[in-house]
Amino acid sequence: MIDLTPLRASPGYRWLFSGLGLAFLARQLTVVAVPFQVYQITGSTLLVGMIGMAQFVPLLLASAVTGAIADAVDRRRLLAVSQILTAATAAGLAWNASLDQPKLWPIYLFSGLNAAVSAVDNPTRSAALPALVGRSLLTRALALNQTLINVAKAVGPALAGLSIATLGLEATYWIEAGAFLLCGGLMSRVPSLKPEGGGTRFGLASILEGFRFLRSRRLLQANFLIDLNAMVFGMPQALFPAIGIQQLGGSAATVGLLYAAPGAGALLAALTSGWVGRVVRQGRAVIVAVVVWGLAIATFGLVSQVELALALLAVAGGADVISAVFRNSILQLAVPDALRGRLSAIHTAVVAGGPRLGDLEAGVVASLTSVRFSVVSGGLACVLGAVAIARLVPEFADYRLEDR
């Protein structure tokens, strides 16, 4: 079972854990509400997929600078501010939903701003973690974080579907806004998290330093690329409204369950992740997990029964959480503290940007062919990509924990 030692050993990590738990849960409300609202207004899978591009561009632009900020200032304050800014984007979505005829452009605008703020929050949180728990407990703390994330992914989308069906879109967005304001208060209780050595001076030179470091590390490049491969080709979330309503014959609640199923499987995997601290061949573990993910998604695209579809998504989610634990471990142990904010920002651009590109890819392929073909072909492409990376970058497949 999961190892709780980091929570017992670090009071600061307990505050971070509590605040992020609320934030992860709240964020799932818009994960379901935004694509559902766009599909409700337009009936177009392509326009749902375009949400991904509206989020990807601000995320990418923000990621270029936010990592350097996280390496220059107190990371605790940056975490608190990012929660408040996220609450503001949710309030904007609530305002639009309150109109007699909600517009599409505010949905894209506030979703994009939300993604830009996540480019501040995610790398700051990742960079802060080793300072709170130490290197020896890092892999265990990452497993705990994945448990937290996937409790939210399992519970949040189902609650979002229920909230949309009973309270409406406007109330759902306001609930998220209030939750992030509370999370900002919890983050202020985390101890000061200034980077080692007082931090670097923010500027163009510090931004470029992070990219130069990455350019010389094929191991980290493969670590990012294998996740990007999985998310772009094997993450068909933009098609969940169409699959839930058309292919499976369900409603908003069914769509919510589709979004929740990967989180449920990931939660089960995270809760039984006590073994991850003993895995030495972490690169190979990532490759196997991504192959399992791709096969599960491809099979999901072929089924028409709700229960079987949910089970396959759960298997995919379980594989994803194992991949995430080891990918984050490789990243944090291979990067010095002075550069963790910048490399974590690049990682955020990959982890958060990949699904947005995946939304676009899935929506475009589905509009040109069919929803089923889009899902199946994407899952198979994910498998082929993982195998190719294993062969082309053998140092990633051969990476061992003691290589750090």
Count the neighbouring beta carbons within 10 Å of the beta carbon of residue 336.
Answer: 9
Report residue 244 CA to chain centroid gap.
22
Q: What is the pLDDT of residue 374?
A: 92
Q: How far apart are CA 120 and CA 114, in angstroms?
A: 10
Average pLDDT value for the chain: 83
Which of 105, 160, 129 lies closest to 344 in space, CA to CA? 129
Q: Please give the pLDDT value at position 175.
A: 92
Tell me which DSSP letter residue 398 carries.
T
pLDDT at 155: 80
In the chain, % of residues over pLDDT 90: 20
Cβ proximity of 116 and 81 under 8 Å:
no
Nearest CA among 152, 154, 166 for reference residue 310: 154
> Which helix (H) or strand (E) is 44 found in, with range?
none
pLDDT in the model for residue 169: 92
**Alpha helix locations (H) across 134-203?**
138-166, 169-187
198: confidence class by pLDDT, cuts 50, 70, 90: low
pLDDT value for 200: 64
**pLDDT tens digit string along 150-177?**
777 778 888 888 888 889 999 999 999 9
Q: Are the beta carbons of 398 and 286 closer than 8 angstroms?
A: no
Q: Which residue has the higher pLDDT, 403 or 375?
A: 375
How much is the pLDDT for 90? Answer: 93
Q: Are the beta carbons of 173 and 94 closer than 8 angstroms?
A: yes
Q: Are 260 and 156 in contact (CB under 8 A)?
A: yes
* Confidence at 117, pLDDT banded by 50, 70, 90: confident
372 burial via Cβ count (<10 Å: 0-12, 13-18, 19+): middle
Give the pLDDT score at 378. 92
332 pLDDT more than 80: no
Residue 177 is predicted with a pLDDT of 93
Distance CA 88, CA 116 (A): 13
98: three-class secondary structure by DSSP: coil
CATH superfamily of 5-403: MFS general substrate transporter like domains (1.20.1250.20)
Q: What is the pLDDT of residues 291-323, one digit of tens each?
A: 999 999 999 988 888 889 999 999 998 998 888
Q: Is-contact 144 267, C-beta < 8 A? A: no
Residue 106's pLDDT is 92
Residue 253: per-residue pLDDT: 78
SS3 string, 199-261, reads CCCCCHHHHHHHHHHHHCCHHHHHHHHHHHHHHHHHCCHHHHHHHHHHHCCCCHHHHHHHHHH
In this prediction, residue 174 carries a pLDDT of: 94
pLDDT-based confidence at residue 197 (cuts at 50, 70, 90):
low
pLDDT grade, residue 96 (50/70/90)? very high
- How many Å apart are CA 204 and CA 65, to the nearest integer? 8
Phi, psi of 98 (to 5 degrees): -80, -15
What is the structure's pLDDT at 344?
Answer: 74
Instruction: Quick: pLDDT tens for 212-266.
Output: 888 878 888 888 889 888 888 888 888 888 888 877 777 777 887 888 888 788 8
Tell me the per-residue pLDDT of 175-194, one tens digit each, with 9 for 90 and over.
999 999 988 888 888 877 77
pLDDT at position 214 is: 80
